[in-house]
Amino acid sequence: MVSLDLLLSAIVAGILLGGFYAAMTVGVSISFGMLDIVNIAHPAFIILGSYIAYIVNARLGIDPVVASILAAPLFYALGALIYQIYYVAFERRGDEALRGLAFFFGLLFITEVALILVFGVDYRFVETGYVGTTLHLGPIYLPLRMLVPFICSLMLVGALQLFLTRSFIGRAIMAVSQDQLALQLMAANPVRIKRIAFALSIASAGVAGALLIIIQPVEPSIGRDYIGRVFAICVLGGMGSFPGMVVAALLLGVVESITATFYGPSWAPAVAFGCLLLTLAFRPTGILGRRA
C-alpha cells in the first residue's frame, strides 16, 4: 500500500525540482527552440555558473543567487562571443547541422575538463543561512534548499517572458524565430538580434548554475546528466514556448521525484530519456506546441 503522505511529499518535491528545471531549460528554449542553435554545451555552462557562484560564495561570502546575477554580464559576453564564432564559422556557411553540433560538443568537453583540471572531481557546495532550513506545512516538508531555487527560477522565466513579449528587442527575437527573412526586410539585423538572444540564454545558464549548487553539491561531470533532461523538457514543452516549457518541467520533475521515491534515485535519469524518446516518437510538437 502506497502511503499517501509519501506520495504527497514526492509530488511536492517534484514540483519544486521541476520549477528549478525550468531555469535550466529556459536558455535551451531560447537557443534551440527559437534560434535553432543546438547548444548541447548548455549544461556545461550551467556547471560553470555553479563554480563561479561557489568561488564568489567561498571567497566573499556573497549569496550564490546574488553572485550569479553579478556574474550574468560575464556570461552574456561569453554567449555573444560564442554566437559570433558560431555564426562566422558555421551558420553563414550553412554548416550548422554537422560541424556546428561537433563545435558545441567540443565546447562541452573543454568546459568540463577545464573545470576538472582547476577544481578536481571533488563535490563542491555553498554555505548560506537557508540551506539547512526546512518549512513544515502539515505533512509536507518544504526545504528552503529547494524552495529558494524554485522561486528564483520562476522569477527568471517570468522576467524573460516579459522581456520577450513586451520589449522591442524581445519582440524582435520572437520575430527572428518565426521568419528571419521578414525581419531582414524590416531593416533589422537578424544576426545582431540572434546574438543578443543567444547571449541571454547563456546568461540564464549562469543563474541556473547558482540555483543548482544551492540544491545539491556539484562536480564538473554532472552536467551531462542534465543534457537529456533539458532537451526532453524543451521538446516536450513545444520548443520555443515558455508556458509549455514550465508545464513540461514540472511534469518531468514530478515523474522523476515519484520514480526516485518509489524505485530509487539511481533510476531517475532514465525517466527523462524515456519522456524524450516517447515525445519524439509520438508527439514531436510537444504538449502545448503548434509548430511542426
Partner 1 sequence: MSNRVFWVVAFAVGAAAFALSLAVENEFYIRAAFVVLQFLVLATAWNLLGGYTGYVNFGTAAFFALGAYGSVVMEKLAPLPIPALVLVGGVVSGAVGLGMGYLTLRLRGAFFAIATLALAVVLQTLITNWDFVGGSRGAYIIAPAEIELLGHRIGYIRYLLLVMLLLSVIAVATARSVERSRLGFGFAAIRDDEQAAEAAGVPTLRLKLIATTLSGALMGMAGAPYPFYITYLDPASGFNLNYAINSIAMPMIGGMTSWVGPIVGALLIGTIQQFAIVTSFLGASPAVNLLVVGALLVAFVILAPRGIVGMMARLKGG
Q: Which residues contact 18 (CB under 8 A, 6 or more apart)?
A: 249, 250, 251, 252, 253, 254
Q: Are residues 252 and 75 in contact, defined by beta-carbon separation less than 8 angstroms?
A: no
62 binds partner 1 (CB under 8 A): no
Q: Which residues contact 161 (CB under 8 A, 6 or more apart)?
A: 242, 243
CA gap 193, 199 in Å, rounded: 10
272 binds partner 1 (CB under 8 A): yes
281 binds partner 1 (CB under 8 A): yes
Min CB(70)–partner 1 separation in Å: 28
Min CB(77)–partner 1 separation in Å: 19
Quote the cell numbers at residue 213: 549548487
101 binds partner 1 (CB under 8 A): yes
Whether the CA torsion 14, 19, 24, 28 is positive or negative: it is positive
Tell me the per-residue interface mask from 123 to 142 with partner 1, x by CB under 8 A, - otherwise: --------------------
118 binds partner 1 (CB under 8 A): no
CA gap 121, 130 in Å, rounded: 26
Among 2, 7, 99, 132, binds partner 1 (CB under 8 A): 99
Q: In the 8-state DSSP scheme, what is residue 286?
A: -
Residue with cell 556545461: 44
270 binds partner 1 (CB under 8 A): yes
Q: Which one, 39 or 241, has the nearer CB to partner 1?
A: 39
Tell me the per-residue interface mask from 149 to 178 with partner 1, x by CB under 8 A, - otherwise: ------------------------------
Quote the cell numbers at residue 249: 518541467
97 binds partner 1 (CB under 8 A): yes
Min CB(16)–partner 1 separation in Å: 23
Q: Which one, 155 or 270, has the nearer CB to partner 1?
A: 270
Q: Which one, 15 or 40, has the nearer CB to partner 1?
A: 40
Stretch that binds partner 1, among 70-78, 140-148, 185-193, 230-238 (CB under 8 A): 230-238
Residue with cell 533539458: 230
User: Could you please report the per-residue DSSP string of 175-204?
Assistant: HHHH-HHHHHHTT--HHHHHHHHHHHHHHH
113 binds partner 1 (CB under 8 A): yes
Q: Which residues contact 194 (CB under 8 A, 6 or more apart)?
A: 35, 37, 83, 87, 173, 176
- Residues at the site binding partner 1, with contacts judged by CB under 8 A: 32, 38, 40, 85, 89-90, 93, 95, 97-103, 105-110, 113-114, 116-117, 224-225, 227-228, 231-232, 235, 264, 266-267, 269-270, 272-274, 276-277, 280-281, 284
